């Protein structure tokens, strides 16, 4: 994602509220909590991908510890702010999904901290798949392992070094395994004084109920189109582009907006794999089907799950297009070109079953099922349903 670093680093380098795209209501709520001295010690930032949860958490932490904050934002100039902006403040801690490797048999987030800082400083708007590509995940599925809980407890039991608050940001908290989550229950319920937990998730229901009940929920929604279009306008790649149209297609997701503005290789890969299998299944072309299955079975589980979620999205968009509802169709130009021809085959007779089969394949891959069997079974089901 080099284009994010070169084109967006100057915009997002300062971790301040004013740099966050949209979400003005949440900004006001968090600012007021600090000014009124009613900061909840454990907060759950929940919402869909690309709405700025991580950026907001960092800006909040910086504001909380700023030496010269104003009524609307951190100063960006004091010693504390400068360290937060580089993600090197000794009282700012991060936890995120990692993978086991021959080098890290019991991995914790600190093993990947340099890569994490690089990723966030390129742009705090990134998703799980982009993070896994950053750390070269292959067939493994990322987790927050039980060993992480000991590191969290150790760090938060230390006295603060410089700041008023110690801050622990747990990104993709739903990826905590059960043992890790259970070990943190007591700390989240009764943390040391001036400690702030911020858990970030796109799948609130997958976090243990006992964890959720101990946090204050901050619910994020999609970013309004005007804010997305305004943010895109500062990108050199925006020249001559229909920014309002891109914002509509992004459907509240700023990561999607960046991808639409400057498509990367991964988006092209996903599109080609989706269109490939749909054409193969429609033609009932068996030999290319087996070749497609072998290819997709080799790309690693996290990437396979990303492909299946992308497929679900495109099935939904094609169904909406078939219903002649352009105002609720969110497709890029290349996707739209394909879907104008393909959408008649996704209709009320097969959309529910097709979606169910893709969701089942996603669950089976997540549960470490055999990918060749899973994708072959899915392809055969599509053959049957696509002509329904």
CA-to-CA distance for 279 and 269, rounded, in angstroms?
Answer: 15
Q: Within a domain: residue 242?
A: no
**Residues 7 and 144 both lie in one domain:** yes
3-state secondary structure of 260: helix
Instruction: Please tell me the predicted confidence (pLDDT) of residue 388.
Output: 66
Domain boundary (222, 251, 278) is at 222
**Residues 365 and 281 both lie in one domain:** yes
**Residues 216 and 272 both lie in one domain:** no
Instruction: Please tell me the predicted confidence (pLDDT) of residue 293.
Output: 96
Domain boundary (155, 190, 222) is at 222
Q: What is the DSSP string of 305-348?
A: HHHHHHHHHHHHHHHHHHTT-GGG----HHHHHHHHHHGGGSST
Q: Within a domain: residue 72?
A: yes
Q: What is the CATH number of the domain that holds 25?
A: 3.40.50.300
Q: For residue 264, what are the contacts with CB-CB under 8 A and spacing of at least 6?
A: 1, 3
**Residues 66 and 135 both lie in one domain:** yes
CA-to-CA distance for 97 and 115, rounded, in angstroms?
Answer: 12
Instruction: Please tell me the predicted confidence (pLDDT) of residue 68.
Output: 93
Give the pLDDT of the chain (388 residues) as one tens digit per residue: 333 443 443 445 568 999 999 999 999 999 999 999 999 999 999 999 999 999 999 999 999 999 999 999 999 899 999 999 999 999 999 999 998 888 888 899 999 999 999 999 988 999 998 898 888 876 677 899 999 999 999 998 888 888 889 999 999 999 999 899 999 988 898 888 899 999 999 999 999 999 999 999 999 999 999 999 999 988 877 777 788 888 988 889 999 898 888 777 888 899 999 999 999 999 999 999 999 999 999 988 888 998 999 999 999 999 998 888 777 777 777 888 899 899 999 999 999 999 999 999 999 998 889 999 999 999 999 999 987 6
Instruction: Please tell me the predicted confidence (pLDDT) of residue 55.
Output: 95
Burial pattern 307-342, b for ≥16 Cβ within 10 A else e, equals bbebbbbbbbbbbbbbeeeeeebbbbeebbebbeeb
**Residues 216 and 318 both lie in one domain:** no
Instruction: Please tell me the predicted confidence (pLDDT) of residue 326.
Output: 76
Instruction: Please tell me the predicted confidence (pLDDT) of residue 11.
Output: 47
Q: Within a domain: residue 254?
A: no
Instruction: Please tell me the predicted confidence (pLDDT) of residue 9.
Output: 39
Q: Which residue range is the domain that position 9 belongs to? A: 2-222
Instruction: Please tell me the predicted confidence (pLDDT) of residue 13.
Output: 52
**Residues 7 and 147 both lie in one domain:** yes
DSSP H helix total and E strand total for the chain: 18, 5
Instruction: Please tell me the predicted confidence (pLDDT) of residue 260.
Output: 84
User: How many domains in the chain?
Assistant: 2
**Residues 272 and 368 both lie in one domain:** yes
């Amino acid at each position: 994602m080099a284009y994010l670093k070169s084109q967006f680093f100057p915009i997002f380098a300062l971790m301040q509220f004013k740099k966050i795209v949209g979400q003005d209501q949440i900004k006001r709520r968090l600012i007021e909590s600090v000014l009124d001295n009613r900061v909840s010690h454990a907060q759950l930032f929940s919402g869909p991908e690309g709405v700025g949860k991580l950026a907001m958490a960092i800006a909040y932490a910086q504001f909380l510890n700023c030496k010269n904050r104003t009524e609307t934002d951190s100063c960006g100039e004091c010693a504390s702010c400068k360290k937060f902006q580089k993600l090197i403040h000794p009282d700012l801690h991060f936890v995120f999904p990692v993978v086991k490797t021959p080098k890290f048999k019991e991995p914790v987030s600190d093993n990947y901290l340099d890569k994490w800082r690089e990723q966030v400083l390129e742009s705090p708007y990134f998703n799980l798949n982009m993070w896994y590509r950053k750390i070269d995940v292959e067939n493994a599925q990322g987790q927050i392992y039980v060993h992480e809980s000991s590191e969290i407890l150790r760090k938060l039991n230390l006295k603060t070094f410089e700041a008023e608050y110690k801050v622990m940001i747990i990104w993709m908290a739903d990826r905590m395994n059960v043992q890790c989550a259970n070990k943190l229950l007591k700390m989240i319920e009764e943390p040391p004084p001036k400690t702030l937990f911020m858990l970030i998730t796109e799948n609130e229901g997958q976090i243990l109920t006992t964890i959720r009940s101990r946090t204050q929920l901050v619910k994020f929604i999609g970013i309004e189109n005007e804010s997305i279009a305004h943010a895109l306008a500062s990108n050199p790649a925006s020249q001559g582009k229909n920014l309002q149209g891109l914002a509509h297609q992004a459907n509240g997701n700023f990561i999607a907006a960046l991808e639409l503005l400057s498509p990367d290789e991964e988006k092209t890969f996903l599109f080609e794999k989706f269109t490939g299998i749909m054409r193969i299944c429609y033609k009932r072309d068996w030999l290319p089907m087996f070749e497609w299955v072998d290819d997709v079975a080799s790309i690693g589980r996290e990437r396979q799950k990303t492909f299946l979620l992308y497929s679900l999205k495109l099935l939904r968009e094609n169904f909406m297009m078939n219903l002649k509802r352009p105002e609720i169709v969110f497709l890029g130009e290349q996707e739209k070109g394909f879907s104008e021809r393909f959408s008649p085959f996704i209709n009320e007779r097969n959309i529910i079953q097709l979606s169910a089969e893709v969701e089942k394949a996603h669950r089976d891959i997540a549960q470490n099922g055999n990918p060749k069997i899973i994708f072959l079974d899915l392809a055969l089901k599509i053959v049957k349903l696509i002509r329904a």
